[in-house]
Structure 1
Amino acid sequence: MSRARIHLIAPASILNKGDAAIYIGAINLITKYLPKCDLSISIEGYGESSGISRMFDSGNLILCKGLLQGIKNSFIRESDMAEFGGKSSPSTRFLSRLPFLRFLYGPLALAQINKCLKLESEPFNSISESDGAVILGHNLEDSTLPMYLFNYAVPKLLFNKKTIIFPMSISALQNGEGLSSVIHESHARFILKQMDYIVLREKFSFDFLKQKLHVNNTVLAADTAFFLHKENCQETLDALYDQGIEIKKPALAVCVRGEGYFQNYGKYIHVSYSSFIRHLAKILDDLISKLDIDVYFVPMTIYPHINFDRYDHAGALLVFKEMRHKSKAHIINTWDMTPSEIASLIEHMDFVLTMRMHQAIMAAIVGVPSALILPAEDNKALGIMKSLGLDDYFIDLGLPPTQIYRNISEKVLEGFNNRPVLKRIMDSKLPLIKKKVAVAAKILALEIEQ
């Protein structure tokens, strides 16, 4: 029997370490349960990270540019439309079923897609030659919904390949206001119903798809980031030493989102970003005094050339600037670190205070408890913390400001005191979570074998 060929589609940039953790975990998962298969992957952001070769070093994995990059980089004149836009072309049929793409890409969308096909664009070629596709799904945010749905639709509607999405969340469809200004809900429902399976990572989204959108090709599993492997601890410490940083115990890891998050989710957050930064700095100073800890900022996003002020590293700099105990606070440069290396770094911490769900997952993998600060409307994050038995350590960013600050201080103090208990709880939950993650790979294996 010939080896199966599976093409993975990574719709979000790997410059976000959390998204990269999803992708690497999925590769680890598939190679474990389908060892006799050849993998290729289309990655948005491919070529933007110097650590990509270390990040994706799984055997003979073939790396391709993302589907959207292929289209965006295929610029042609409007006068070329006739050459590439014949009525019988596959992309004409594709676009006729997805009218929102014309809105997303404008009048050149048809020509751009056709040009990619005509030139045998790398990612489209890999999909056409595969036995099936796995969309490494992403939370469907209002502003990026059309882009993700485009990635979902290509393998099934353009190439008629078996297509599975995992892991996925749809909180934007559930909570998004003004979603119709981006894309009509019927488009989302149409595309999702075309998939062979949709593997959800938490129950909120699973129930919503079945009950509200009447999409029944769904399975409940867990986030593939739980299949992330940690790297050699000593090598991680050596890398920190090169930055002039030494881990001193007790240690608190902190990840602060940039201002862009507060702008995007302002309808759920009732505190200004500047006020949050000032109060968080004061809380960390107080914790340093009470617990004699060192604070290590571990950003999950560092985009040195793109909207710098909007991401985690910028948030860390702002908090650090406001702190009094600067000698006890350290900002780690994670730009060249893989998700596995970040997990190994977190293993040296005693507790994690984070605004990134996948950092909480990394912490759980290495046995370090965490508190997660996000709005309660973030279904995927709240669901993940519940699955870890840490729902009491989910700090709702939508509460009144005084309550948020009180909860942060109390939960970090409580977490330091209860570390052994919290670790036992997480350790008891992880085997079940990994079994749930494996559901996705088993479904994929059955589909490919058919």
Structure 2
Amino acid sequence: MDLDSLTLAYAYGCRNAGDFAINEGSLALLDRTVPDVDVTAVSRFASESPEYERMVEELDGVEDGALVGGPITYDPESQSRPAQLAALARNGLQYGVDVAGVADDLSVHSALYEGITDADAMLFNGGNAIHYSPSHGNLPYLLAMLYPLQVARRNDVPYGLLPQTTFALEGVARRLVVPLLEDAEFVMTRDAITFDYLSEFGLSTQLINGVDTAFLNGTPTAGDPSDGESNRIAAVPRFSTLGDTGELDAAGKRMEDTFLTYLDRLVDAGDEVTLTIQTEIDAAWAERNRDRLDDIGVGYYESYDPDELRAHYAEMDLLVTMRLHAAIFALSVGTPTIGVYRPEWGPKMDGTFRTLDIAEYAIPWDGATVETLEAATADALDEGRALSQHVADNVSLRNEALVSDLRTALSTADGFA
């Protein structure tokens, strides 16, 4: 394989421990498959932003100078409306210049453009990046996520996609995305449902069924159940719409009440329950519901560090989560996990659980009642070490397959070989 340099786009930020763990997992994957190749990671955030500075401090595995800022300065979470409009105008102009590839002899291109066109190849980082929802008006989001792929394709830079969950590609989204997938050297999926979905598109590119790269940084081992009388159960909420924006709708409010009642019953039954926070938006939810949670009697644990979270979940007998990456942290250390999900979030939860042969522990919101959650909890706790061993074995197998599949893809793809 005659490959000296790679660009990884995008590297995610620190607001969400799960997104940040994708960075670490993807870098670990590259270190195991192409250890001698120079890797430059392009951040989703501009180099002058506070989020970029946090990434520089926290992200191990990237040498000094190998993390560069991204071209997108728009950030509705921290900017006033006039600042948002100004950022959109600047970003739109930069987007046009980069994607069109004009004025190569002038210093008008972004660090993303330079990083991609100067490298031998580009890898698009894994996650939940490629999706579209007209009801949430996220075409600008989709365009921003496709930015690196468009630059690589326009400039004949070979590229591949690390494990993705992809869904809802209809209309304009399908017309935008399918050509980019078709021209990729390979496309990796991170769950079985996405693999089946993309298989229906008849792509000529190599399609590989993998798992989220964040699994790679855990050590899957079968844990022993609690020695005490109390079961140790961690619970992770997610009460937000697609993309973590918008008000809680009727289904969300029903699930919120179900979730809180379920926690109340666990505590009443003598279980030791810890509400675990690993995203800033969930920290805000916990603060809004502090009185109710205190009345229930749950413990609290908050961290945005993937290693700390893995250690935390390793101490638990069970995790019940609405966030996929909480499940990944727990499953990657062999802790039995129940996943509760909304279809609007895509197939990442149920698809991942299916990949790991634990599909019965993925519960959709419309099937989640206090009673079904209690029944799944009792079943998982009864299975105990046997379920933990099953999880650990399957995670180990999928991790090894992911490394092997990427190594093979890189060595056999025409653009990388």
TM over 0.5: yes
1:104 and 1:285 map into 2 onto residues whose CA distance is: 50
Q: Which residue of 2 aligns with 1:196?
A: 185
Match of 1:110 in 2: 96
Aligned to 1:437: 402
8 Å Cα contact 1:388/1:429 also seen in 2: yes
Q: Tell me which residue corresponds to 2:41.
A: 41
Answering whether residue 147 of structure 2 is matched by residue 150 of structure 1, we say yes
Q: Deviation per CA, 1:94-113, whole angstroms, max 9, x where unpaired? A: xxxxxxxx999657753577
The structure-2 alpha-carbon separation of the partners of 1:387 and 1:109, relative to structure 1 and needing over 3 Å to count, comes to: closer
Asked if the contact 1:296/1:329 (under 8 Å) is kept, the reply is yes
- Equivalent residues in 2 for 1:127-276 (5 A)? 127-139=116-128, 140-142=130-132, 143=138, 144-157=141-154, 159-173=155-169, 179-180=170-171, 183-212=172-201, 214-229=203-218, 250-261=231-242, 271-276=250-255
Give the letter for the 2:19 counterpart.
Answer: D
Determine helix, strand or coil for the equivalent of 2:335: coil
Cα-Cα RMSD? 3.5
How do 1:30-429 residues align onto structure 2 when only pairs under 5 Å count?
30-45=30-45, 47-48=50-51, 51-53=54-56, 55-58=58-61, 60=63, 62-69=66-73, 109-111=95-97, 118-119=107-108, 121-139=110-128, 140-142=130-132, 143=138, 144-157=141-154, 159-173=155-169, 179-180=170-171, 183-212=172-201, 214-229=203-218, 250-261=231-242, 271-290=250-269, 292-302=270-280, 311-323=281-293, 325-326=295-296, 328-334=297-303, 337-376=304-343, 378-399=346-367, 403-429=368-394
Q: Deviations over 1:302-353 (max 9, x none)?
A: 1xxxxxxxx2222333454323645x4233232xx32222112211222111
Query: Relative to 1, partners in 2 of residues 1:412 and 1:433: Cα closer, same or farther, differing over 3 Å?
Result: same
TM-score, scaled to structure 1: 0.74
Contact 1:44 1:68 in 2 (8 A): yes
> TM-score, normalising length from structure 2?
0.79
Name the CA distance, whole Å, in 1 between partners of 2:392 and 2:244. Answer: 36
Which amino acid letter does the alignment assign opposite residue 323 of structure 1?
L
Deviations 1:380-435 (CA, angstroms, capped at 9, x unpaired) = 22121122232111111133xxx533222222232223221210111221222112
Q: Tell me by how many angstroms 1:54 deviates.
A: 5.3
Q: Distance in 1 between matches of 2:74 and 2:68?
A: 10
Q: CA deviation at 1:300?
A: 2.8
- 1:103 and 1:121 map into 2 onto residues whose CA distance is 15
Unaligned runs of 5+ in 2: 77-87, 133-137, 220-228
**Do the aligned partners of 2:321 and 2:338 also contact (CA within 8 Å) in 1?**
yes
CA contact (8 A) 1:285 1:324 kept: no
Shift of 1:148: 1.6
Paired residues of 1:296 and 1:332 also in contact (CA < 8 A):
yes
Partner of residue 77, structure 1: none
Deviation at 1:68, TM superposition (A): 3.1
Tell me the SS of whatever aligns to 1:35: coil
Paired residue type of 1:444: L
Asked if structure 2 preserves the Cα contact closer than 8 Å seen for 1:352 and 1:371, the reply is yes
Please state whether the residue corresponding to 2:160 is helix, strand or coil: strand
Q: Which amino acid aligns with 1:24?
A: E
Matched AA of 1:382:
D
Question: Is contact 1:17-1:300 (8 Å) kept?
Answer: yes
Distance (whole Å) between structure 1 residues aligned to residue 117 and residue 249 of structure 2: 48
Structure 1 CA distance for aligned equivalents of residues 244 and 61 of structure 2:
37
Query: For the residues of structure 2 that align with 1:433 and 1:108, how far apart are their CA atoms?
Result: 39
Partner of 2:135: none
